[in-house]
């Protein structure tokens, strides 16, 4: 069944857990969609896990549109959420609406996600008013990595925790239909989840959130540059891939690939005329 913003609303009311995974291309999106996930996030983590950047800062609107459209072609039932990249919405409400519109029109997003709380509420309000559903993102917001001074758990002091709670209430009021909570203490995520009526989607935020999201390369063991504490490896696909690549190199080297079954035939009549 097709997942929409209504699915998210109903899940919170019924207490059903929501599932979200990232994807950045057509064939992975198809596999994730067929597995039955509620939502696919075309995260700007694209910068790290696909493009090989150190952070998400360099990711562009063109990158997000390109990968968003590929994922949307593979996702039949999952709600496709596309991240608004750094500086595509912080600059002004006008830029935010124009760029969210591009992600929906050209990137085929079903919803957009942006980072921040009270400060970006005018943007959330305007994008929502334009008919584009918005997912908010609080806690460790990777586009602010330079301001945080690294990948650090957020909301550990009284002031920081109060700010996240206040931001969560503000983004709900501004019109966000869901909230990603990244790298915050589980008890704070629980309080936020109980204090707002939109679903919280946690990543490193404990299991009381209304749903969970993971970067698919992390949960499949395909990305070894950095593995955060909150990741569970549900498979070791990285090892399987490396083994298969080695097998391929060996088979080509020793002449066992390609085999007869991989060849195209030419009739003897045609062959004779070539000599």
Active site residues: 182
Near ligand KIV by CB under 6 A: residue from 44, 63, 172, 210 = 44
Is residue 212 close enough to count as binding ligand KIV by CB under 6 A? no
Residue 154 makes contact with ligand KIV by CB under 6 A:
no
One character per residue 4-23, x = contact with ligand KIV (rule: CB under 6 A):
------------------x-
Chain residue whose CB lies nearest ligand KIV:
43
Q: Which long-range contacts (CB under 8 A, 24 or more apart) does 27-31 make?
A: 27/74, 28/71, 28/74, 28/216, 29/70, 29/71, 29/72, 29/73, 29/74, 29/75, 29/78, 29/80, 30/74, 30/75
Please count the residues of this chain forming the interface with ligand KIV, following the rule CB under 6 A.
11
Indicate which single residue of 213, 216, 220, 221 sits in contact with ligand KIV (rule: CB under 6 A). 213
Count the Cβ atoms, other than its own, within 10 Å of residue 151: 14
* Contact flag: residue 180 with ligand KIV (CB under 6 A): yes
* Binders in 102-131 for ligand KIV, by CB under 6 A: none
Contact between 223 and 43 under an 8 Å Cβ cutoff? The reply is: no
Instruction: Give pairs for 266-274: CB < 8 Å, separation 24+.
Output: none
Q: How far is the CB of 141 from ligand KIV (least distance, A)?
A: 8
Task: Look up residue 113 and give its two tokens.
Answer: 């996600």
CB of residue 193 to ligand KIV, shortest distance in Å: 16
Question: Toward ligand KIV, which CB reaches closer, 203 or 220?
Answer: 203
Q: Shortest CA distance to 40 belongs to which of 21, 55, 25, 59?
A: 21
In the complex with ligand KIV, which residue's Cβ is closer, 108 or 113?
113
The partner residues of 243 in beta bridges, in order of sequence, read none
Choose the stretch contacting ligand KIV; rule: CB under 6 A; options: 30-38, 41-49, 152-160, 225-233: 41-49
DSSP state of 119: G
């Amino acid at each position: 069944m097709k997942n929409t913003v209504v699915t998210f609303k109903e899940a919170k009311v019924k207490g059903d857990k929501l599932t979200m995974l990232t994807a950045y291309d057509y064939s992975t999106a198809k596999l994730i969609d067929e597995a039955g996930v509620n939502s696919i996030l075309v995260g700007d983590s694209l910068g790290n896990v696909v493009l090989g950047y150190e952070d998400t800062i360099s990711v562009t609107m063109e990158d997000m549109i390109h990968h968003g459209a590929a994922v949307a072609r593979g996702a039949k039932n999952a709600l496709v959420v596309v991240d608004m990249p750094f500086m595509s919405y912080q600059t002004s409400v006008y830029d935010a609406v124009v760029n969210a519109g591009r992600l929906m029109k050209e990137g085929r997003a079903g919803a957009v996600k942006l980072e921040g709380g009270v400060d970006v509420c005018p943007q959330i309000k305007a994008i929502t008013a334009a008919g584009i559903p918005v997912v908010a993102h609080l806690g460790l917001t990777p586009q602010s990595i330079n301001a945080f001074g690294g990948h650090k758990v957020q909301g550990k002091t009284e002031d920081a925790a109060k700010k996240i709670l206040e931001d969560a209430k503000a983004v709900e009021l501004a019109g966000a239909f869901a909230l990603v909570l990244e790298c915050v203490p589980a008890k704070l995520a629980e309080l936020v989840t109980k204090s707002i009526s939109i679903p919280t989607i946690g990543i490193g935020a404990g299991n009381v959130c209304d749903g969970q999201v993971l970067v698919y390369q992390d949960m499949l063991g395909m990305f070894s540059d950095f593995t955060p504490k909150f990741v569970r490896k549900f498979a070791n696909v990285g090892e399987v891939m490396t083994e298969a690549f080695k097998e391929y190199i060996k088979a080509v080297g020793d002449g066992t690939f390609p085999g007869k079954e991989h060849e195209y035939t030419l009739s003897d009549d045609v062959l004779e005329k070539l000599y």
